[in-house]
Amino acid sequence: MMLASLISAIFTQSLTFLPLALGISISYSLLRATDMTLDGSFVLGAAVFARLVTLGISPVIAGLCALIAGSLAGVMVSFIQRGGRVDPLLAGVLATFILTSGNLALMGRPNINLLTQHTLVSTAFAQSNLAGWSLVALYSLSFCLISCLLVRSRFGLMLRALGDNPALLKRLGTPVETYRLLGFALTNSLAAVSGILTAQTVGYADVGMGFGMTLTGIGAIILGQQILRAMLKRTTLRVAAEFSACVIGVLLYFFAMNGLLRCDINPVYLKMILGIILIIFLRSAVNPNQKRAQS
Amino acid sequence: MTPTLLDIHSVSLTFPGVERPILSNITYAVQTGDFVIVLGSNGSGKSSLLKLIDQRYQPSSGKINLDGKLLTSYRDKSFHCAVKTLTQNYHESLFTSLTVLENYLLIRQQYEPNLLAIKTQHESEFLQTYLSQFNTNLSSKLNQIVDQLSGGEKQALALALTVLYPPRILLLDEHTSALDPKSAEQLMSMTQQITEKYHITCILTTHDLAIAEQYGNRILALRNGKIHHRIENDKKQDFNQENLLAACY
């Protein structure tokens, strides 16, 4: 019974986190940029959705608006760092800084309760938990699938080329800033999707709910990548493997988190312990060749 | 007489805050079909000269004409089609985390914007045929990630893709210097094969006097940013390593 509840917790939390993790994977592994804006876009998605739903707007329209708001956050960060004038990491931090105020202003208060509201999944959850989570899974996996298809298309090839060698891509006559903007719009809208789904499943939107999400996601993705590299005995991963690594990393992260919580660990120390576990995993996952090269 | 393709006229290059000019009063004309070898010790200005020709640097004074027109009067795209550069650093010419085929597709889409919408099967066959003309194993490695190729293969791929749409002028900045002697020899013979087949004018910088002797038809030696010595095609008897060493260093 306890095992079933553990597995259920891992899968349900992973489902809402997966679009965000995929967004982080696209920005971190493909675009090679650590976009800290995703913390803010995650909350922005939840904030816009919750605010509009409480104003009586249809959940579908609220969801679409939240998605667009997320992509606009990506456009903003792309403009901040346009032409390499502001360091990408700093641009993300600045954008999140701006979004903290923006989200609070949008919500009008630090927390919006959605438990009594009609949302995209409320009817399904009213029938049964299984129906509710199945619908959440449908939404989450649909967005992930669309993103995967995009990344495997010509657009995705451009994003990967941009992350690899922007100078060469520019010399080839490609409008690199446009692709950077579209890439960030995609990753931030995925973060917003996670925010929308999380707000609906936990029953509220909170202005602080995105804190540390990007770093957690990066940690989970690196963990998944290292494990997959060791399993496949490869130093580089293709697109499909990158996404698989993302799923493995997210599942493992939530396994560790839920496992610790069930061991009665004080939640105050949770992130500290998770961070230490992540460090141990990452250090042990470095392959022997890398170790030799580093020494 | 062969028409002048590239005319470098009284060109100097200085950097702000640096007292000594990087290049000083360089005048040199390159004819179509030339294979010019630029020699000189480190810091003599060889790479800077190539960067001036491919417009990464702008001259402090003087002018450079391509086909009688100032370099700066060319539109970006047409200039980059006419003048292409390959350096010892393949990272500048390749997307190393992508496959050989993806690198090829990205370069082709510059010329054919709708290309990536087409099925890649046909493109894959085309690339295989294209690469098989060179003495490399690249044609069997289309789906391999570039980072996993050997150093020689990466440089050979970079060269093959650079001339996929042959430029008028190919600038090679010590492109063999990071390779072992065998790979360097293979790459040089591929370079010669390509320049002859596609009638590409080539300007190559190197420290390797054997390469200068074997492949060049004109030699330009730089010292401290100035032209120190030049050997023209009609004095082929001067093309031996002993003379070159004395003349250039």
CATH number at residue A55: 1.10.3470
Task: Point out the residue among A157, A160, A236 whose CB comes nearest to the CB of B147.
Answer: A236
Chain A contacts in chain B segment 111-140 (CB below 8 A): 116-117
pLDDT on residue A154: 86
At B191, the pLDDT band (50, 70, 90 cuts) reads very high
pLDDT on residue A288: 47
At A269, the pLDDT band (50, 70, 90 cuts) reads confident
Does the structure show a pLDDT above 80 at A94? yes
At B115, the pLDDT band (50, 70, 90 cuts) reads low
Give the distance from residue B92's alpha carbon to the nearest chain A alpha carbon, in angstroms.
7
State the average pLDDT for chain A: 88
Give the distance from residue A95's alpha carbon to the nearest chain B alpha carbon, in angstroms.
29
Long-range contacts of A209-215 (CB under 8 A, 24+ apart): A209/A42, A209/A43, A209/A46, A210/A38, A210/A39, A210/A40, A210/A41, A210/A42, A210/A43, A211/A39, A212/A39, A212/A271, A213/A20, A213/A38, A213/A39, A213/A42, A214/A24, A214/A34, A214/A35, A214/A36, A214/A38, A214/A39, A214/A92
Take residue B136 and report the two structure tokens written for it. 């490399």
Take residue B181 and report the two structure tokens written for it. 């002697």
At B230, the pLDDT band (50, 70, 90 cuts) reads confident
Confirm if A74 and A186 have CB atoms less than 8 A apart.
yes
- Residues B221, B227, B231, B234, CA torsion sign: positive
Amino acid at the residue A222: I
Does the structure show a pLDDT above 90 at A49? yes
Look at B95 and A167 and tell me if their CB atoms are within 8 Å: no
- Which one of A266-275, A286-295, B196-205 scores highest in mean pLDDT? B196-205
HSE, CB side, 13 Å, CA atoms: give it for residue A158: 24
At A47, the pLDDT band (50, 70, 90 cuts) reads very high
pLDDT on residue B236: 62
Quote the ipTM score: 0.82
Take residue A293 and report the two structure tokens written for it. 């090269």
Does the structure show a pLDDT above 80 at B6? yes
Confirm if A30 and A153 have CB atoms less than 8 A apart.
no
Give the distance from residue A201's alpha carbon to the nearest chain B alpha carbon, in angstroms.
38
Look at B110 and A172 and tell me if their CB atoms are within 8 Å: yes
Look at A168 and B110 and tell me if their CB atoms are within 8 Å: no
In this structure, of A67-71, A82-86, B159-163, B191-195, the range with the lowest mean pLDDT score is A82-86
Task: Return d(Cα B142, Cα B129) in angstroms, integer.
Answer: 11
| pLDDT one-digit tens code per residue, A194-217 | 999 999 999 999 998 988 888 888
pLDDT on residue B235: 65
Q: What value does the mean pLDDT take over residues B203-221? A: 88
Look at A157 and B110 and tell me if their CB atoms are within 8 Å: no
Higher pLDDT, A56 or A257: A56
State the average pLDDT for chain B: 87
Task: Return d(Cα A217, Cα A222) in angstroms, integer.
Answer: 9
Task: Return d(Cα A200, Cα A209) in angstroms, integer.
Answer: 13
At A75, the pLDDT band (50, 70, 90 cuts) reads very high
Count the domains in chain A. Answer: 1
Q: Domain range spanning residue A26?
A: 2-294
Coil, strand or helix: which one is B159? helix
Chain A contacts in chain B segment 176-215 (CB below 8 A): none
- A172: contact with B, CB 8 A cutoff: yes
Tokens 């690196």 belong to: A222
Nearest of B94, B37, B80 to residue B244 by alpha carbon: B37
Task: Return d(Cα B6, Cα A287) in angstroms, integer.
Answer: 51
In this structure, of A10-24, A46-60, A279-293, B202-216, the range with the lowest mean pLDDT score is A279-293
Beta strand B169-173 with B83-87 is: parallel
In this prediction, what percent of chain B has a pLDDT beyond 70?
92
Secondary structure, 3-state, chain A: CHHHHHHHHHHHHHHHHHHHHHHHHHHHHHCCCCCCHHHHHHHHHHHHHHHHHHCCCCHHHHHHHHHHHHHHHHHHHHHHCHHHCCCHHHHHHHHHHHHHHHHHHHHCCCEEECCCCCCCCHHHHHHCHHHHHHHHHHHHHHHHHHHHHHHHCHHHHHHHHHHHCHHHHHHCCCCHHHHHHHHHHHHHHHHHHHHHHHHHHHCEEECCCCCCHHHHHHHHHHHHHHHHHHHHCCCCCCHHHHHHHHHHHHHHHHHHHHHHHHCCCCHHHHHHHHHHHHHHHHHHHCCHHHHHHHC
HSE, CB side, 13 Å, CA atoms: give it for residue B171: 22
In this structure, of A12-16, A127-131, B211-215, the range with the lowest mean pLDDT score is B211-215
Task: Return d(Cα B73, Cα B55) in angstroms, integer.
Answer: 11
Phi/psi for A113 (5° steps) reads: -85, 130
pLDDT on residue A295: 45
Phi/psi for A70 (5° steps) reads: -60, -45
Look at A160 and B105 and tell me if their CB atoms are within 8 Å: no
B25: left (phi over 0), alpha (psi -120 to 50) or beta: left
Confirm if A132 and A125 have CB atoms less than 8 A apart.
yes
Which 8-state DSSP code applies to residue B2?
P
Q: What value does the mean pLDDT take over residues A29-39? A: 87
Confirm if B179 and B187 have CB atoms less than 8 A apart.
yes
Give the distance from residue B110's alpha carbon to the nearest chain A alpha carbon, in angstroms.
6
- A289: contact with B, CB 8 A cutoff: no
pLDDT on residue B119: 62
pLDDT on residue B112: 77
Bridge partners of residue A112, in order along the sequence: A205
Higher pLDDT, A95 or B120: A95
Bridge partners of residue B85, in order along the sequence: B171
Task: Return d(Cα B130, Cα A277) in angstroms, integer.
Answer: 50
| pLDDT one-digit tens code per residue, A157-208 | 999 999 999 989 988 888 899 999 999 999 999 999 999 999 999 999 999 8
pLDDT on residue A238: 75
Does the structure show a pLDDT above 60 at A287? no
Q: How many other CB atoms are found less than 10 A from the CB of residue B120?
A: 15
Does the structure show a pLDDT above 80 at A37? yes
Tokens 């080839």 belong to: A172
Q: What value does the mean pLDDT take over residues B161-188? A: 90
Task: Point out the residue among A154, A161, A171 whose CB comes nearest to the CB of B98.
Answer: A161
Look at A165 and B94 and tell me if their CB atoms are within 8 Å: yes
Task: Return d(Cα B79, Cα B59) in angstroms, integer.
Answer: 17
At B110, the pLDDT band (50, 70, 90 cuts) reads confident
Q: What value does the mean pLDDT take over residues A45-73? A: 96
Task: Return d(Cα A76, Cα B146) in angstroms, integer.
Answer: 34
Tokens 């082929």 belong to: B236
Coil, strand or helix: which one is B54? coil
Does the structure show a pLDDT above 90 at B182? no
